[in-house]
């Protein structure tokens, strides 16, 4: 698993560890192709100390036959940059995906 995929998984797992009550879901899909997807990921919950927590991030997830092989995270305000990056990855992706 690549470093970016590990970072994505670790960030989500850390939120779940910190939140006593958590909810994680895909709020919207901005682009979906055979290569992968660009979507808004939302997480919310309450910490063990009682603080409400919510975050949104734009995620690029790229898959090959064996499963996800790339995950890139963008701030919620950087949707255009994420879509441009996905387009770049789509142009350079091997055609046997």
In the chain, the domains with their CATH numbers are 3-92 (3.10.450)
Three-state DSSP state, 51? coil
Nearest to 41 by CA among 54, 29, 56, 62: 56
Retrieve residue 39's tokens.
């979507």
At 53 the pLDDT is 82
Residue labelled with tokens 């409400």: 52
| pLDDT at position 97 | 44
Stretches where the chain sits below pLDDT 70 are 1-20, 65-68, 93-97
What's the pLDDT score for residue 69? 78
The model carries a pTM of 0.71
Residue 36: per-residue pLDDT? 87
**Interatomic CA distance for residues 32 and 38, integer angstroms:** 7
């Amino acid at each position: 698993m690549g470093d970016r995929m590990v970072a994505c998984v670790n960030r989500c797992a850390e939120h779940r560890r910190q939140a006593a009550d958590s909810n994680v879901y895909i709020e919207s899909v901005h682009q979906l192709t055979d290569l992968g997807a660009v979507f808004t990921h939302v997480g919310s919950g309450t910490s063990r100390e009682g603080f409400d927590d919510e975050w949104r991030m734009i995620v690029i997830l790229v898959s090959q036959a064996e499963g996800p092989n790339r995950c890139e995270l963008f701030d919620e305000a950087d949707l255009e940059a994420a879509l441009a990056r996905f387009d770049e990855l789509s142009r350079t992706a091997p055609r046997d995906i």
